[in-house]
Amino acid sequence: MTTYLSFLGPLAPRSTIALARLGVIAALIALIVFGALRYDNFLSSYNALSFLRYNSMFALIALGMALVIMTGGIDLSVGGTAAMASVVAAIFSPYHWAAGLAGGLAAGLVVGIINGVVITRLKIQPFIATLAAMLAAYGTGLLLAGNQSVSVSYDSGFTEIGQGDFLGFPIPAWIALAFYIAGWIALERHPVGRRVLAIGDGEATAKLMGLKVEKTLMGVYITSGLCAGMAGVILAAQFGAGQPTEGVGWELFAIASVVVGGTLLTGGVGSIGATLAGALLLAMVFNILNFENGLGWISLSAYWQSVIRGLFLLAVVILQAKIAGARANG
């Protein structure tokens, strides 16, 4: 019987996406090796720790963005949300460090809920809904801050969230790590992860299979809002001020990290670990550019860095399209 059914067997080899994910990790290692050989101090604990401290924020918003993109959506509001959250956190920081933390997270939660409601109840395209939320979040942040940065309290211990260490590692890195572990468990081991990916595979189908699509999407946008809120708290704590004008372009950095991590922009396929690798890879490119500047042979302005970032992303997306094409023909 089995032999007569053999023609029903698999048509294609195991996902080439998995190979692409290994590629990201290989590229990350290659860049680290390259940096270590080329620059003094590249592997110094100072560089390593400040690298982790600074980039934890970006890793966090990439995590939320990854979950959103896996459902086939997009969240453009993360940068604005982070900026607003940093202001709210700064305003609440004098009362207690936890008040600052809670305030920032609450700000992210509110934006996430609004995004979720607008997208699932009012059936507005995520692109439009979160674009509106981005503008509103920036505006709210500027209003609350009175159009300037808001200094945080240095007495309540709030700044420890951004500047402190625990067991020799920066607290922001621990926070990001905790979020990523929770995200990994949710996506890979908890039923909700199957739901997220199935929705990205096809929303109508997911509904026909009896999945609670709207509830899941709601949760995903709230998670993205919370991640952005947490990034905002770290931003305020690290730089000692709520920064209503920060966060511009963060959503693009997050999308880039997610895409580099092999998550398909069309949804349905994605990995938490590879998202982290993608975020670290992009950050590493910058780190190397900074060192290259430091050598003094070339001088790359921030503008040039932006151009290089764009080209890098384009290369990755082209690669992804090729892989998807190979899969379709496989």
Partner 1 sequence: MLLSMKAIDKSFSGVRVLNAASLEVEPGEVMALVGQNGAGKSTMIKILTGAYSRDAGSVTFQGREVHFSSTADSQSAGIATIYQEINLAPNRTVAENIFLAREPRTAFGLVDRRKMRAEARAVLKRFNLDIDVERPLENFGAATRQMVAIARGVTQNAKLVIMDEATSSLDEREVAVLFETVRTLKRDGVATIFISHRLDELYAICDRVTVMRDGRTVAVSAMKDIKKLELVRTMLGKELTAFTAAQRNREEADGATLVEAKNLSAGVRVRDVSLAIGKGEIAGLAGLLGSGRTETARLIYAADRRDGGTLSVGGRQTAYAQPADAIADGIGFVSEDRKVEGIVPEMSVRENLTLAILPRLQKSGIVDRARQQEIVERYIKALGVKCASPEQPIRELSGGNQQKVLLARWLCMNPRLLIVDEPTRGIDVGAKAEILKLLRGLADEGLSVLMISSELEELIAAADHVTVLSDGRSVARIPAAELSEERLMVAMAHQDGEAA
Please state the closest distance from residue 185 (CB atom) to partner 1, in A.
7
Nearer to partner 1, 243 or 271 (CB): 271
Please state the closest distance from residue 64 (CB atom) to partner 1, in A.
21
Residues 6+ apart with CB under 8 A from 90: 100, 145, 150, 151, 152, 236, 241, 242
Between CA 198 and CA 190, with CA 327 as vertex, the angle to 5 degrees is: 25
Kindly list the distances between the CA atom of residue 117 and the CA atoms of 27, 66, 127, 202, 310, in Å, as whole numbers in the listed order.
Answer: 39, 19, 14, 20, 32
Kindly list the distances between the CA atom of residue 46 and the CA atoms of 28, 49, 132, 174, 281, in Å, as whole numbers in the listed order.
Answer: 19, 5, 40, 17, 19
Nearer to partner 1, 77 or 223 (CB): 223
Please state the closest distance from residue 232 (CB atom) to partner 1, in A.
30
Angle of helix 302-329 versus helix 250-260 axis, rounded to 10: 40
Nearer to partner 1, 5 or 37 (CB): 5
- Which residue's entry shows tokens 């949300």? 81
Closest CA to 330 of 2, 7, 17: 17
Nearer to partner 1, 7 or 46 (CB): 7
Between CA 94 and CA 101, with CA 96 as vertex, the angle to 5 degrees is: 100
Binding region for partner 1 (CB under 8 A): 1-2, 5, 7-12, 14-15, 185, 189-191, 194-195, 197-198, 200-202, 204-212, 268-269
- Which residue's entry shows tokens 């090729």? 322
Nearer to partner 1, 152 or 269 (CB): 269
Closest CA to 181 of 272, 301, 71, 283: 272
Please state the closest distance from residue 11 (CB atom) to partner 1, in A.
6
Nearer to partner 1, 125 or 148 (CB): 125
Beta-carbon count within 10 A of 191 CB: 9
Helix (H) or strand (E) segment spanning residue 101: helix 97-120
Please state the closest distance from residue 214 (CB atom) to partner 1, in A.
12
Please state the closest distance from residue 223 (CB atom) to partner 1, in A.
17
Please state the closest distance from residue 190 (CB atom) to partner 1, in A.
5
Summarize the chain as % helix, strand, coil (round to 5): 75, 0, 25
Nearer to partner 1, 190 or 322 (CB): 190
Please state the closest distance from residue 20 (CB atom) to partner 1, in A.
14
Residues 6+ apart with CB under 8 A from 57: 82, 172, 231, 234, 235, 238
C-alpha torsion 151→149→241→231, nearest 10 = 150
Check residue 230 and report its DSSP letter. H
Nearer to partner 1, 12 or 33 (CB): 12
Nearer to partner 1, 8 or 298 (CB): 8
Please state the closest distance from residue 17 (CB atom) to partner 1, in A.
9
